[in-house]
């Protein structure tokens, strides 16, 4: 197990561009009512920095760790989804929804199916059903089905992220904590989007959505560092 102090020392500098890009987004705070390629670039820039964060570990690392590769691909689809959502009022909301649905499938695949944690899955299933029930009265047309499928996918991703989480004992690893925390923040962000769009105006919705979203993506990207495998194993293979 890698200690949190070691993580901060080794991974912190690689995340500096992400933090700077996130600050640029919140400082500029470009109006969402005037979508442009500039606003799309500013919004996607923190995600681009997370691409670089994973690439900074080397192509060999990504090739040796399929789960890290899947998280990287998920981040690519996330950036495309972010760009589509800049023009959501021009009819591209569904496109963004589909891109993030693909993102969650890649993330769930990266987190894997072991341990199964059926109780956690049951709890997530019940919570996702309650969320969909809350959203249902405001849904119409294709959104009735699309939102239902999306809720199921992000809940499945959340289940797989939380399933491996162990807060005590020798099996504790900070990467599982990062994955679980990232998944929960992602769910909070997307639920806020859904409530604001289909149910009622959420106060300070954009700030809440984007702060939880960027934090979620950072934690999920950070969880790829050990990629469900001991770092030492990869270093040994690289040395040989």
pLDDT digits (tens, 9 = 90+) for 188-209: 999 999 999 999 999 999 999 9
Q: Give yes or no for a contact between 182 and 161, defined as CB atoms under 8 angstroms apart.
A: yes
Looking at residue 96, what is its pLDDT?
98
Q: Say what the pLDDT of residue 2 is.
A: 61
Burial class (CB in 10 A: 0-12, 13-18, 19+), 4: exposed
**What average pLDDT is seen over the chain?**
91
CB atoms within 10 A of CB 158: 27
Q: Which helix (H) or strand (E) holds 97?
A: helix 93-111
Assigned token pair, 136: 């249902």
Measured in Å, how far apart are the chain's first and last C-alpha atoms?
22
CA distance 212 to 144: 25
Cα angle for residues 210, 211, 214 (degrees, 5° grid): 80
Query: Domains of the chain: which residue ranges?
Result: 4-227
pLDDT single digits (tens) 148-174: 999 999 999 999 999 988 766 655 678
Judge whether residue 8 has pLDDT over 90. Answer: no
Percent of the chain residues past pLDDT 70, beyond the cut = 90
């Amino acid at each position: 197990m890698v200690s949190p102090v070691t993580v901060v020392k080794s991974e912190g500098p690689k995340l500096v561009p992400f933090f700077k890009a996130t600050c640029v987004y919140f400082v500029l705070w470009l109006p969402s009512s005037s979508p442009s390629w500039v606003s799309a670039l500013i919004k996607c820039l923190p995600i681009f920095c997370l691409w670089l964060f994973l690439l900074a570990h080397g192509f060999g690392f990504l090739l040796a760790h399929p789960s890290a590769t899947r998280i990287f691909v998920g981040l690519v689809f996330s950036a495309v989804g972010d760009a589509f959502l800049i023009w959501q009022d021009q009819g591209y909301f569904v496109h963004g929804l589909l891109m993030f649905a693909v993102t969650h499938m890649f993330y769930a695949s990266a987190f894997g199916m072991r341990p199964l944690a059926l109780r956690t899955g049951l709890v997530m299933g019940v919570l996702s059903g309650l969320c969909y029930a809350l959203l249902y009265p405001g849904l119409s047309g294709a959104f009735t089905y699309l939102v239902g499928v999306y809720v199921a996918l992000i809940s499945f991703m959340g289940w797989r992220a939380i399933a491996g989480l162990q807060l005590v004992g020798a099996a504790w690893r900070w990467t599982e904590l990062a994955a679980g925390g990232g998944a929960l923040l992602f769910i909070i962000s997307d639920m806020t989007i859904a409530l604001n769009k289909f149910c009622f105006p959420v106060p300070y919705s954009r700030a809440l959505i984007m702060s939880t979203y960027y934090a979620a993506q950072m934690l999920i990207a950070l969880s790829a560092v050990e990629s469900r495998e001991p770092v030492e194993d990869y270093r040994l293979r690289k040395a040989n």
